[in-house]
Structure 1
Amino acid sequence: MSADTAAAMSFSARIREASWSRHRRLDPSSDADREPGLFDRLFDGSLSLADYTRWHAQQFFAYEAIEAAGDRLAADPVAGPFVFPELARLGALEADLRFLMGPKWRSGAEPLPATRAYVERIHEAAAEPAGYVAHAYTRYLGDLSGGQAFGKAARRNYGFDGAGASFYEFTGIGSPKAFKDEYRSRLDAIGLDEDAKSRLVEEVLAAYDHNGAVLAELGANLDRNPFEPKVVAAVCHHMNHDHAADTLVICRGAGGRPEAHAARMTGFDGDGADFAAAVGDGEVPIRIAWARPLTERAEVRPEIVRIFTESKALLEA
């Protein structure tokens, strides 16, 4: 887009024009030749409830970062006009995840590597008010637009009535179209110079790219975990709250991190278990393979006992 063309457009139109190609990449109808992804599977009804739940959990981490920044910047003259209480999604996500995964949901929700990178980018960008606006705009206006179709598909596929898809319900917004028009008018009036506006547009593109990376990682693992998210959450909670010392032994022994001073189980699938070991001031991810592929919950405990016993022997040797 030339400088003259950009100058002739409203700022909100400029953002939409610049991000249109990214938006199209996330649209399941835009490329009929590619393998069906998460959105395709949601719309055709073949996305499992477990994979829907895992997607929902990843969104929690993104909104946790965005809404923390919004709380911090609510009084800022640039960011403040874009902090709307009626847009907040975190409470609805938490309610949905309690419904989908049970009261111990937080123990079984762990950001994927792509989600971690996305959250880090939000934190970095939101150090500046315009960076917050870029990420808030990308997510919230998406929720009020295509997100409504996602919610409709989820309610149809899984029989939800409120909980499970309340993330897509904006009860404080009577007319999504009128709200989006007001939001865009505020973008048009934003108090930024041309360089700052250009950086905001670039950050919107980065937000789209990070969203795409999360969807790609989720899509690459569809149908691969035989264990329901509720089961993963319950086992992780049990290990981290009732057997924290044993979890640390596993990470120090079989996990190869004898210097770890704390540890937690973060998930598992049919091939192995995932942990996070506290080393120094940070956490190190650890993956430990099962002795054989597992498919039933009853098989998990004996494998964990085996790994613990071997880890204890390694540390005592």
Structure 2
Amino acid sequence: MVERANRPSALASTPGLGKQPQVSFSDDNSRVSAELPTGETLEILLYGATVISWKDASGNEKLWLSDATKLDGSKAVRGGIPVVFPVFGTAPDHAQASKLPQHGFARTSRWEFLGKSTSESAPGPPAAADLSVKLDFGLSSANLDTKTKSLWPFAFGLIYSVTLNRESLTTSLVVTNDDDKPFDFQVLLHTYLRVKDIAAVSIKGLEGASYIDKVDNASTKTQASTVTIAGETDRVYTPTTPTSEPVSVVEAGKTTFSIVRDSLGNVVVWNPWTDKAAGLADFAPKDGFKNMVCVEPGAVSGFQTLEPGDAFEGAQTITISPR
């Protein structure tokens, strides 16, 4: 994949069609933005292909982003939707992943923007149309620096697609093994959802699921009822329901987010609470844990093995409800 230094500042709509989604680049080519004719917006940092903003038509932000996070490519982004690959956390006992940094290198690599595709606007006003825009990003072993290649010396390709609809956001990742030997990997979509008050939040759809409680010595437990957050929470769930059945974030009795997974068998639920947030230099404001919860689809309970020439695809679709 080749970096293009001189990208157009905006990608115009096709003549002859109705009002179309607009895609534009920041002046320094570090970000890609999209806007639907109905007002929904999306912003993605090429560093990590990290979604850093998703707003509804009224301008309400749906993702939580730390006020102290770096957006200059010097450090992984705290907030939004970072892409975790090829390891979740660290894996000192895994031969292939033992040398990799926390959460791997996808979230700290510069991705290439591959292009956009849009749905055609139906006749009539934009509010009645089925509008969407899909942005594609790529990362391969050829893009990695020498140090990262030495830590994980496999030929691979990643295609990350982010699709903005009027009431939903879909993020999907395709992993291909371009090597002549198999490799193991984990993947996670580290989604920080914005809420008004974590004390009023519950998470449905994980009832009966076993989970690893990383705050309690990685002990294995079973979720008896809906999930509520009242302290530091770091859990890896394996839901018993099909991935097509939603995991829902409910606030003050109203569903605000519904997450449907595709080929991602785990859901991580994370909130740092008071003490953990205080110890994270890039977490701000320090009481920001009251306004966020991470609900993160992934394949992280073990490692996936990908044979030469094979591909893996996993995705999430987050649907919002009006507040």
Give the TM-score taking structure 1 as reference length: 0.27
- Which has more strand, going by share of residues? 2
- Which has more helix, going by share of residues? 1
Instruction: Name which one, 1 or 2, has greater alpha-carbon Rg.
Output: 1
Larger RCO, structure (CA 8 Å, separation 6 or more): 1
Give the TM-score taking structure 2 as reference length: 0.27
